[in-house]
A and B are shown apart, each in its own frame.
Chain A
Amino acid sequence: MLYIVLIPLLLACTIPFISKFKHKLHTGIPVLLIPSAIFLYFIRFVGTGFEPVRQSYEWIPSLGINFNFYLDGLSLLFVLLISGIGALVVLYSIYYLGRDERLGHFYVYLLMFMSAMLGVVLSDNIFVLYTFWELTSISSFLLIGYWHFKEKSRYGALKSMLITIFGGLSMFGGFILLSVMTGTSSIQIMIQNSEVIMNSPYMPLALGFILLGAFTKSAQFPFHIWLPDAMEAPTPVSAYLHSATMVKAGLFLVARFSPIFSGYEGFFIIVSIAGIVTLCWGSYMAVHQTDLKAILAFSTISQLGMIMAMLGFGTEAAIFAAVFHILCHATFKGSLFMVAGIVDHETGTRDIRKLGGLMTFMPMSAALALFGTFSMAGIPLPFLNGFYSKELFFKSTLKLPQGAHPVTNFLVEAIPYLAVFGSIFTFVYSLYFLFGTFGGKKQVDKLPKHPHEAPVGMLIAPFVLVLGVILIGLFPNVFNGTFIAHAAEAVAGTTIVKEITFWHGFESTAFQMSLVVVALGAILVSTRRKWSKVYSFIPGRGSINHIYDAIIAKLDNWSTKMTTFYMTGSLRLYMAIILSTIFLVTLGFMLVTDGLTIDYSNLAPVTVTEIAVALVIVAAAIGTIFAKKNLGAILIAGVVGYGVSLLFVIYRAPDLALTQLVVETVSVALFLLCFYHLPNLDNTKDPAGTRLTNGIISIGFGTLMTLIGISAHSSDWFGTISDYFLETSHSLGGGDNVVNVILVDMRGLDTLFEIAVLGIAALAIYSIIKLKMNKGAK
Chain B
Amino acid sequence: MEFIISILAGILFATAIYNLLQKQLLRIIIGTLLLSHGAHLFILTMGELKRGNPPILTEGVSNYTDPLPQALILTSIVISFGITSLLLVLAYRTATENETDNMEQLRGNDNE
Q: Which residues of A contact B (CB under 8 A)?
A: 568-572, 575-576, 579, 602-607, 610-611, 614, 617-618, 621-622, 624-625, 630, 633-634, 637, 640-641, 644, 647-648, 650-656, 659-660, 663, 666-667, 670-671, 674, 677-679, 681-682, 686, 694-695, 697-699, 701-706, 709-710, 712-713, 720-722, 725-726, 729-730, 736-739, 742-743, 747, 750-751, 754, 757-758, 761-762, 764-765, 768-769, 771, 773, 777-778
User: Which 8 pairs across A and B sit closest by C-beta, in order of nearness?
Assistant: A702-B14, A706-B10, A709-B6, A569-B107, A698-B17, A736-B57, A761-B82, A698-B18
* A570-B107, A738-B64 given; A656·B57 CB < 8 A: no
Q: For residue A750, which residues in chain B have a CB less than 8 angstroms away from its CB?
A: 75
Q: For residue B26, which residues in chain A have a CB less than 8 angstroms away from its CB?
A: 630, 633-634, 678, 681
Q: Looking at the complex, which one of B9, B88, B103 makes contact with A571 (CB distance below 8 Å)?
A: B103
Q: CA A743 – CA B68 in complex, angstroms? A: 10
Q: For residue A659, which residues in chain B have a CB less than 8 angstroms away from its CB?
A: 74, 77-78
Q: Looking at the complex, which one of B6, B46, B57, B103 makes contact with A706 (CB distance below 8 Å)?
A: B6
- Interface pair B37/A640, CB less than 8 Å apart: yes
Q: Looking at the complex, which one of A569, A660, A705, A739 makes contact with B55 (CB distance below 8 Å)?
A: A739
Q: CA A603 – CA B5 in complex, angstroms? A: 11
- Interface pair B12/A640, CB less than 8 Å apart: yes
Chain A minimum-CB-distance residue to B80 = A663
* A730-B57, A764-B86 given; A713·B18 CB < 8 A: no
Contact with A along B64-81 (1 / 0, CB 8 A): 111110110111011101
Q: How far is the CB of A774 from chain B (nearest CB, A)?
A: 8
- Interface pair A701/B17, CB less than 8 Å apart: yes
Q: For residue A655, which residues in chain B have a CB less than 8 angstroms away from its CB?
A: 70, 74
Q: CA A572 – CA B105 in complex, angstroms? A: 11
Chain B minimum-CB-distance residue to A765 = B89
* A654-B54, A681-B26, A768-B89 given; A739·B82 CB < 8 A: no
Q: Which residues of B contact A (CB under 8 A)?
A: 1-27, 29-30, 33-34, 37-38, 40-42, 44-58, 64-68, 70-71, 73-75, 77-79, 81-86, 88-93, 95-97, 100-104, 106-108, 112
Q: For residue A705, which residues in chain B have a CB less than 8 angstroms away from its CB?
A: 6, 9-10, 13, 38, 42
- Interface pair B24/A681, CB less than 8 Å apart: yes
- Interface pair A720/B66, CB less than 8 Å apart: yes
- Interface pair B44/A653, CB less than 8 Å apart: yes
- Interface pair A667/B13, CB less than 8 Å apart: no
Q: Looking at the complex, which one of B18, B52, B93 makes contact with A625 (CB distance below 8 Å)?
A: B18
Task: Enumerate 8 A-B pairs (CB-CB under 8 Å) in ascending A order.
Answer: A607-B1, A637-B30, A663-B78, A674-B89, A677-B92, A713-B6, A754-B78, A765-B89
* A605-B1, A625-B19, A705-B13 given; A725·B57 CB < 8 A: no
- Interface pair B37/A641, CB less than 8 Å apart: yes
- Interface pair B108/A695, CB less than 8 Å apart: no
Q: Looking at the complex, which one of B3, B34, B48, B64 makes contact with A726 (CB distance below 8 Å)?
A: B64
Q: CA A535 – CA B21 in complex, angstroms? A: 63
Q: For residue B49, which residues in chain A have a CB less than 8 angstroms away from its CB?
A: 604, 651
Chain B minimum-CB-distance residue to A690 = B21
Q: For residue A738, which residues in chain B have a CB less than 8 angstroms away from its CB?
A: 55-57, 64, 67
Q: Give the number of residue pairs across the A-B interface with Cβ within 8 Å.
A: 272
Q: For residue B106, which residues in chain A have a CB less than 8 angstroms away from its CB?
A: 571
Binding site of A, secondary structure by majority: helix, strand, loop or mixed? helix
Q: For residue B74, which residues in chain A have a CB less than 8 angstroms away from its CB?
A: 655-656, 659, 739, 743
Q: For residue B107, which residues in chain A have a CB less than 8 angstroms away from its CB?
A: 568-570
Q: For residue A702, which residues in chain B have a CB less than 8 angstroms away from its CB?
A: 10-15, 17
- Interface pair A778/B83, CB less than 8 Å apart: no
Q: How far is the CB of A689 from chain B (nearest CB, A)?
A: 13
Binding site of B, secondary structure by majority: helix, strand, loop or mixed? helix
Q: Looking at the complex, which one of A607, A622, A747 makes contact with B71 (CB distance below 8 Å)?
A: A747
Q: For residue B70, which residues in chain A have a CB less than 8 angstroms away from its CB?
A: 653, 655-656, 739
Chain A minimum-CB-distance residue to B43 = A709
Q: How far is the CB of B29 from chain A (nearest CB, A)?
A: 8
* A633-B26, A656-B74, A702-B17 given; A677·B85 CB < 8 A: no
Q: For residue B7, which residues in chain A have a CB less than 8 angstroms away from its CB?
A: 706
* A579-B17, A633-B30 given; A713·B10 CB < 8 A: no
- Interface pair A722/B19, CB less than 8 Å apart: no
* A644-B41, A678-B25, A768-B90 given; A624·B55 CB < 8 A: no
Chain B minimum-CB-distance residue to A615 = B8
Q: How far is the CB of B73 from chain A (nearest CB, A)?
A: 6
Chain B minimum-CB-distance residue to A614 = B8
- Interface pair A666/B17, CB less than 8 Å apart: no
* A617-B12, A738-B56, A761-B85 given; A695·B64 CB < 8 A: no
Chain A minimum-CB-distance residue to B101 = A679
Q: CA A736 – CA B4 in complex, angstroms? A: 31
- Interface pair A743/B71, CB less than 8 Å apart: yes
Q: CA A726 – CA B8 in complex, angstroms? A: 29
- Interface pair B89/A614, CB less than 8 Å apart: no
Q: For residue B20, which residues in chain A have a CB less than 8 angstroms away from its CB?
A: 575
Chain A minimum-CB-distance residue to B21 = A694
- Interface pair A709/B10, CB less than 8 Å apart: yes
Q: For residue A742, which residues in chain B have a CB less than 8 angstroms away from its CB?
A: 67-68, 71
- Interface pair A604/B50, CB less than 8 Å apart: yes
- Interface pair A651/B93, CB less than 8 Å apart: no
- Interface pair B55/A726, CB less than 8 Å apart: yes
Q: How far is the CB of B105 from chain A (nearest CB, A)?
A: 10
- Interface pair A701/B93, CB less than 8 Å apart: no
Q: For residue A663, which residues in chain B have a CB less than 8 angstroms away from its CB?
A: 77-78, 81
- Interface pair B65/A653, CB less than 8 Å apart: yes
Q: For residue A737, which residues in chain B have a CB less than 8 angstroms away from its CB?
A: 55-57
Q: How far is the CB of A170 from chain B (nearest CB, A)?
A: 36
Q: For residue B17, which residues in chain A have a CB less than 8 angstroms away from its CB?
A: 579, 694, 697-698, 701-702
Chain A minimum-CB-distance residue to B83 = A761
* A659-B78, A773-B97 given; A722·B86 CB < 8 A: no
- Interface pair B93/A769, CB less than 8 Å apart: yes
- Interface pair B30/A634, CB less than 8 Å apart: yes
Q: Looking at the complex, which one of B42, B89, B104, B112 makes contact with A709 (CB distance below 8 Å)?
A: B42
* A705-B9, A761-B83 given; A624·B19 CB < 8 A: yes
Q: For residue A720, which residues in chain B have a CB less than 8 angstroms away from its CB?
A: 47, 66, 68
- Interface pair A713/B75, CB less than 8 Å apart: no
Q: CA A743 – CA B90 in complex, angstroms? A: 30
Q: CA A706 – CA B112 in complex, angstroms? A: 39
Q: CA A739 – CA B44 in complex, angstroms? A: 13
* A652-B50, A667-B81 given; A698·B21 CB < 8 A: yes
* A736-B58, A742-B71 given; A698·B44 CB < 8 A: no
